[in-house]
């Protein structure tokens, strides 16, 4: 089920992806018909443009600050904060500064 991650090893999720200048970097940890779990890093000013997911998408900021726009409403999330973006609702993600997040989508 899990991939790209060591098992039975203590780790910090934010350490699984590095920042890269001018990029959004992702590492998929789980991908199946029920669940998708991905760790992302955003360089400052980078974004994922407006789109909708086929399941409820829960994001938790692991480091830094990100801006999440969900159905036109803006949410600024800092380290340790979580937001659920409902299925089929348009949303976008922007790096207010360099930041890392965990995305879990349940289908």
Please give the pLDDT value at position 37.
98
Please give the pLDDT value at position 84.
98
1-53 pLDDT tens trace = 899 999 999 999 999 999 999 999 999 999 999 999 999 999 999 999 999 99
Please give the pLDDT value at position 98.
98
Residue 19 falls within a domain, yes or no?
Answer: no
Q: Within 13 A of 69's CA, how many CA atoms are on the CB side?
A: 12
Residue 73 falls within a domain, yes or no?
Answer: yes
Residue 43 falls within a domain, yes or no?
Answer: yes
The torsion defined by the Cα of 91, 69, 17 and 105, in degrees rounded to 10, comes to -40
Please give the pLDDT value at position 80.
98
Q: Residue 79 sits in which domain range?
A: 24-106
Residue 55 falls within a domain, yes or no?
Answer: yes
The CATH number for 69's domain is 2.60.120.10
Split into its structural domains, the chain has a count of 1
- In three-state form (DSSP H/G/I as H, E/B as E, the rest C), the secondary structure along the chain is CCCCCCCCCCCCHHHHCCCCCCCEEEEEEEECCCEEEEEEEECCCCEEEEECCCCEEEEEEEEEEEEEEECCEEEEEECCCEEEECCCCCEEEEEEEEEEEEEEEEC
66-107 pLDDT tens trace = 999 999 999 999 999 999 999 999 999 999 999 999 999 999
- How far apart (Å, rounded) are the C-alpha atoms in residues 22 and 90? 24
Residue 97 falls within a domain, yes or no?
Answer: yes
Residue 72 falls within a domain, yes or no?
Answer: yes
Exposed / middle / buried, residue 89 (Cβ in 10 Å: 0-12, 13-18, 19+): middle
Residue 13 falls within a domain, yes or no?
Answer: no
Residue 14 falls within a domain, yes or no?
Answer: no
């Amino acid at each position: 089920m899990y991939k790209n991650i060591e098992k039975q090893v203590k780790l910090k999720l934010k350490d699984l992806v590095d920042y890269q200048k001018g990029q959004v970097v992702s590492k998929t940890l789980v991908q199946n018909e029920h669940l998708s779990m991905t760790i992302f890093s955003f360089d400052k000013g980078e974004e994922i443009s407006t789109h909708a997911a086929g399941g409820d998408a829960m994001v938790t900021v692991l480091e830094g600050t990100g801006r999440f726009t969900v159905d036109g409403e803006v949410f600024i999330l800092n380290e340790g904060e979580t937001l659920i973006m409902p299925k089929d609702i348009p949303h976008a993600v922007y790096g207010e500064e360099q930041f890392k997040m965990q995305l879990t989508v349940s289908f």
